[in-house]
Amino acid sequence: MRTFSWHLLIAVALLSACGSGTQPTDELNVVNTEDSVLQADRLKRTRNIFYSIPSPMETAALLQKAGATYNSKILNDVKKVDTYTTASEQALNLGVYGADLSYASVFNHTQESMFYTSCSKKLADRLGVISAFNDSTLELMEKNMGDRDALLDVISETYWNVDAYLKENGRDNISALMIAGGWMEGLYIATQVSLTNDSPELRQRIAEQKLSLVDLIALISSYELDDPALSTVMADLKALETLFADVPVGGGSTTVTQENGVALIGGDSKPSSINDEQLAAIREKAAAVRNSYIN
């Protein structure tokens, strides 16, 4: 009962800072025109290209499946949240705390999940992303403290809301920094866990981050790099890319077979792997970069 009241107190305290946003409707934006010039112009447009970076939740779930353990000591200190004063620091650390939140939640450490939710909310509020953590978010988390799956759903939706809010309000560079911060924290956690909980499966997941690193670099490159924070992040990612250069991943031709209604895509490449030297170098670099973001 005491624990519940304490959680409720946190929720109420955080909710008091919440604002309300206008909910988008489910209507469609439709342009009706018979102007053939406009139509021809649209048809000539270049294709839309997106970059898909694994979310912190997906990365944490992969780590758990790879046999990783939970270690709260490697996560960012919640007390540091008030030291992030610039928008770029807040965006990067919103990503970092978001990854810590996913890691704690996937491994069912709900008490710590609440702390990291609190940090994430503070930073989101300071970035003006008020509507993403709506009034019911913390209440829902409180209500679902004992239901891991429901809790993960709330966290997932909140992450989606924050990212979407930033993009919908022309703040893509802040969104990119948040994604980069989250990705870096995920790599940091995986490489730190490998110090005490090394396994071929975990090494494989670390090696595979080479693929999402390439996508993340492409995502950051799609923005104007006159933003100093983005150009710093880009330099960090490029340095990591060099360390990943000789790590073998994916590629090759594929075959498709059916197995109980699910397509099984086979490839002719071997599972990714990473040797001791490569792992040590990536671990060291990830720690240095991540520490430069949180300190």
Partner 1 sequence: MLTRNTFIQASMVGAFLLLAGNAQAQCRSFAKNKCVPGLAPYKFNETFNSAQLAPGEEAEVNLTFYSGQDYRVMVCAHPILGEVNWKLVDSNNKIVFESLADEPKPNFDLKVATTMQMKLVVWVPTQGKNEMVHVGCVAIMVGFME
In the three-class reduction of DSSP (H, G, I as helix; E, B as strand; rest coil), residue 183 is classed as helix
Provide CB contacts within 8 A for 268, sequence distance 6+. Answer: 252, 253
Give me the helix-helix angle, 87-106 and 228-244, nearest 10°. 50
Looking at the Cβ atoms of 139 and 215, the one nearer to partner 1 is 215
Which of residues 89 and 207 has its CB atom nearest to partner 1 in the complex?
Answer: 207
Residue 164 CB neighbour total at 10 angstroms: 14
User: Which residues would be at the binding site for partner 1 (CB under 8 A)?
Assistant: 23-34, 36, 38-39, 42-43, 45, 47-55, 57-58, 61-62, 65, 152-153, 156, 159-160, 163-164, 167-170, 204-205, 208, 211-212, 215, 249-254, 256, 261-267, 269-272
Output the smallest distance, CB 180 to partner 1, in A. Answer: 14
Minimum gap (Å) between residue 158 Cβ and partner 1: 10
Q: How far is the CB of 7 from partner 1 (least distance, A)?
A: 25
User: Residue 55 CB, nearest distance to partner 1 (Å)?
Assistant: 4
Q: Which residues pair with 266 in a beta bridge?
A: 255
The smaller minimum CB distance to partner 1, of residues 101 and 232, is found at 101
CA distances from 78 to 71, 94, 113 (A): 15, 12, 11
Tokens of 56: 């912190």
Q: Identify the burial level of 83 via C-beta atoms within 10 angstroms of its C-beta, where 0-12 means exposed, 13-18 middle and 19 or more buried.
A: exposed
Rg of the chain, C-alpha, whole Å: 21
Distance CA 111, CA 234 (A): 34
Least Cβ distance, residue 275 to partner 1 (angstroms):
18
Q: C-beta of 88: minimal distance to partner 1 in Å?
A: 21
Specify the residue, 1 or 30, whose C-beta has the smaller distance to partner 1: 30
Residue with smaller CB distance to partner 1, 50 or 295: 50
Nearer to partner 1, 39 or 292 (CB): 39
For residue 69, what are its two tokens?
């353990």
